[in-house]
Amino acid sequence: MDFGFESFESGLSDFDIDVEEVVVKKTKTYDRAWKTGQGGSVQGNPILYKDVIYFGAHDGYVYGVDERTGEIVWRFKTNDRVLSSPALFEDSIIIGSFDGNLYRIDIEKESAVWAFKTSGEVFSAPFVYEGAAYFGSRDGNVYAVDCNTGKEVWRFRTGGDVASSPTVQNGRVYITSFDYNMYCLDARTGKELWRFKTGDEMINNIPFVIHKGMIYFGSFDCYLYAVNCKTGKEIWRFRTGKYGIGGGVPNVYNDRIYFGSRDGDLYSLTLEGKEIWRFRAGGPIIAQLPQFYDDVVIFGCEDGNIYFLDMNGNETGRFRTGGRLYGKFLLHDGKIYLGSWDCYFYCVSIENKKEIWRTPTSSMVQSYLPPVHAVFSAEIKKETHTEDAISEDRYKSKKKGEAVSLSDYHVASEYSSTSEYKQKSEYDTSFVMFEGEMQVEVMWISDLIAKQMNLKQN
C-alpha cells in the first residue's frame, strides 16, 4: 500500500492514531521488474556514439536516434522487452533482453554478431571490461562473456535472481543478487573474493559508483551501505524510510553522496554517512543516478518529473514528461536525453528546462507495471487514544511545521527542503488510487474509534 501523503491529519478532535503504531512490512519477494508488460515504454541508460543515441524499449527494439533531431536512424528487434541498457564494444552494441539473450549488434549492419542465451530474463546492463561483458540474469547467474566470440568465459551462481548492473574495477566485479548479497568476484576467473549480506533483496539498473575505495549501494531493507571495496567490510549504514532503496545507485559530487529512496526523498550525505539535507519529490525515486551540471542536482522521479535542485536541496525548476522516469539520464552539450514510460524519448534543455524534441517508439501503449509498493503491507499494531498517549507537555512541545504522518520522514525538520514549484499534476491524480486505499484504511480506523467512543458513552 502506498499512502501517498506528505502528511496526514485525521480531522478527529479527541482521538488520533499514534504514528508509532503504523507498521509497514515487506511481505513478498520483489518481482515488479519481472512483471512489467510489453508496450512502448522506455527506461534504462542511453548512450551516445557518433552523434546517435542508443536505447532499448519495452516493444523489444533497440533504437538509434539522431542527437540533433530525434529522428530514428537505426533499430534492431529482439524477441521480448528490453529493460537492459546498451554498452559499446568497438563498432557494436552489447545489450540484454527479456528473451534471455545478451546480444552483440553490429551498428553498421544493424544485425546480431552473436546472441548468448541464458535461462532467464536479462534486466542487467552489461559492463564491458578488457574484452569481456559482465552481466546477470534472472536465472541466478553472473556471466562473463567474450565480446569477440560470444562464448562464455565463466559463470558464478548466486542464491537468487540477479537484476543488478555490475561495476568492474581493478579486476573485480561488483554485483548484487536477490539472495541479499553484494558479491565481489575476480573478473578473470569468476572466483568469489568476498560477499556482504544485507537484510533484503537488491536491484540496480545502473552500475555502482566507487569513490575513494568505497562502494555505496542500497537495499530493500531501507539502508544505504558504505562498504570497503577491498575487504567487503561495512564502514557505515544510513537508514531511510519504510519502502527501501531499489533500482538506482548513489552518486558522489564534491565529497557529498546523493541518492534517492522509494519513499520519495532525495538525500545528501557526508562521506561519513551523516545527513546534510533531504528533498521530498512528488513520488518514489527509483532507478535513478543523481547527476550534476554547473552545481545543479538533476534526477528523475516516478511522478514523471525531472527535478533540478541547488546544492542546498532547494528546487530551482522541473520538466514534466507524461510517464514515470527510470534510468540514468544522458547529459551532453547542455541537454538531457532520457526515455519515459509515456513511450517517448526526450531531449530537454538544461538551461531553460524546455523540450527540444521528443520521439515516439513503435507503440504508444504504456507497458503494464504493478503498483509501486505491492510487496508491502501496512498494519495498525494497536488502538491509541491521543488523550491517553500524548501528555500535555508533548502538546506544548510541538513545534510549528510538525504534522502527524504515516511515513518515517514526513515530520518537518531542519533537513526538509520544500519547493516553490510544487504543482498538481497527472501523477497526483494517479495517486488517488493509492489514496483510495488509504481512505478505506482511514474508514476502518474511524470505525474502531467510533466503537471506542460508543463504549465510552455507554
User: What digits encode the pLDDT tens for the residues 19-37?
Assistant: 456 789 999 999 999 999 9
Tell me the average pLDDT across 31-45: 97
Q: Is the pLDDT of residue 264 over 90?
A: yes
Q: Is the pLDDT of residue 450 over 50?
A: no
Residue 457 binned pLDDT confidence (cut-offs 50, 70, 90): very low
pTM across the whole model? 0.81
Q: Across all residues in the chain, what is the average pLDDT?
A: 85
pLDDT, residue 22, reads 75
pLDDT, residue 20, reads 54
Give per-residue pLDDT as tens, 405-435.
Answer: 333 333 333 344 444 444 333 333 333 333 3
Residue 380 binned pLDDT confidence (cut-offs 50, 70, 90): confident
C-alpha cell at 39: 508496450
Question: Which among 115, 125, 112, 102 is positioned nearest to 33, based on CA atoms?
Answer: 125
Residue 169 binned pLDDT confidence (cut-offs 50, 70, 90): very high
Q: Is the pLDDT of residue 130 over 60?
A: yes
Q: Is the pLDDT of residue 232 over 90?
A: yes
pLDDT, residue 12, reads 34
Q: Is the pLDDT of residue 175 over 50?
A: yes
Q: Is the pLDDT of residue 15 over 80?
A: no
pLDDT, residue 173, reads 98
Tell me the average pLDDT across 333-359: 98
Going by the DSSP 8-state scheme, the letter that residue 393 receives in this structure is H
Tell me the average pLDDT across 321-338: 98
Instruction: State the CB neighbour count (10 A cutoff) for residue 305.
Output: 23
Tell me the average pLDDT across 53-78: 98
Q: Is the pLDDT of residue 60 over 90?
A: yes
* Residue 440 CB contacts under 8 Å (≥ 6 apart), including other chains: none
pLDDT, residue 429, reads 35
| Phi-psi sector, 220: left (phi>0), alpha (psi -120 to 50), beta | alpha
Tell me the average pLDDT across 367-396: 68
Q: Provide, rounded to the nearest whole percent, the portion of the chain with pLDDT above 90.
A: 77
Q: Is the pLDDT of residue 403 over 80?
A: no
Q: Which amino acid is at 170?
A: N
pLDDT, residue 315, reads 98
First to last CA, the chain: 35
Tell me the average pLDDT across 354-376: 97
3-state helix, strand, coil in the chain (%, to 5): 10, 40, 50
Q: Which residues pair with 359 in a beta bridge?
A: 345
Q: Which amino acid is at 128?
A: V
pLDDT, residue 382, reads 60
Distance in angstroms (rounded) separating the CA atoms of residues 244 and 29: 13
pLDDT, residue 386, reads 47
Q: Is the pLDDT of residue 363 over 50?
A: yes
DSSP for 286-333, please give it.
Answer: -S---EESSS-EEEE-TTSEEEEE-TTS-EEEEEE-SS---SPPEEET
Distance in angstroms (rounded) separating the CA atoms of residues 162 and 297: 30
DSSP for 91-150, please give it.
Answer: TEEEEE-TTSEEEEEETTTTEEEEEEE-SS---SPPEEETTEEEEE-TTSEEEEEETTT-
Going by the DSSP 8-state scheme, the letter that residue 455 receives in this structure is H
